[in-house]
Amino acid sequence: GGAGHGSSTYAAGGGGGASTGGSVSDATSHATYGEGYGGPGGAGKSSSITGSSVTRGGGGGGGASDALALGGCGILAAAEHGYGCEGGGGAGSRSYGVDGATNKGAGGGGGNSGGAGGSGVVIISYDDEFAAPDTLTGSPSTPSVSGKRVYVFNGNGTIGWD
């Protein structure tokens, strides 16, 4: 998801997530969070492809116009060390945005210096009645999912069948 960008005068809307768009209404943000707060990033999308539910692709929180205010979802999740909306989107602020969560493809928080988007992930899942790959590099994780072959790449790697 993308991130909003705050200025010294106006707060920004939050970045869109994989599941929903970010909040772009300054009036809604003001009424909900207080003056100067950026809009929340959109929620990510939940999936159980690896055998357990994980939410990825959350939008970054919008930048805030108040130097003391965290933007977007950061104010709701400050106890979680600045992560934004569900799906790992980074919180926004006036001066800097928090980076999106690693391996979740999440948006960075907005700010005069916006946070970086989180790295993505590649997940390959297929019925175990089909052959295992002949070539597998990059040390992907292989979670156990009944009736499936699952390969999770968080970095470089290859998979192939001869």
**More confidently predicted of 89 and 24:** 89
Q: How many residues does the chain have?
A: 162
pLDDT of residue 18: 67
**More confidently predicted of 109 and 160:** 160
Report the Cα–Cα distance between both ends of the chain, in Å, rounded. 36
pLDDT of residue 46: 84
pLDDT of residue 17: 67
pLDDT of residue 22: 60
Model confidence over 4-45: pLDDT tens digits?
Answer: 444 445 556 666 666 666 655 444 444 555 556 667 777 778
Q: How confident is the model at residue 147 (pLDDT cuts 50, 70, 90)?
A: very high
**pTM given for the model:** 0.74
pLDDT of residue 130: 97
CA–CA dist 86, 28 (Å, integer): 19
Pairing of strands 122-127, 148-153: antiparallel
- Average pLDDT score over the chain: 74
SS (H, E, C) the chain: CCCCCCCCCCCCCCCCCCCCCCCCCHHHHHHHHCCCCCCCCCCCEEECCCCCCEEECCCCCCCCCCCCCEEHHHHCCHHHCCECCCCCCECEECCECCCCCCCCCCCCCCCCECCCCCCCCEEEEEECCCCCCCEEECCCECCCCCCEEEEEECCCCEEECC
Mean pLDDT (whole number) for 78-97: 60
Asked if residue 110 lies in contact with residue 60, where contact means CB atoms within 8 angstroms, the answer is: yes
Q: How confident is the model at residue 126 (pLDDT cuts 50, 70, 90)?
A: very high
Q: Is the pLDDT of residue 128 over 70?
A: yes
CA–CA dist 96, 24 (Å, integer): 19
Q: How confident is the model at residue 66 (pLDDT cuts 50, 70, 90)?
A: low
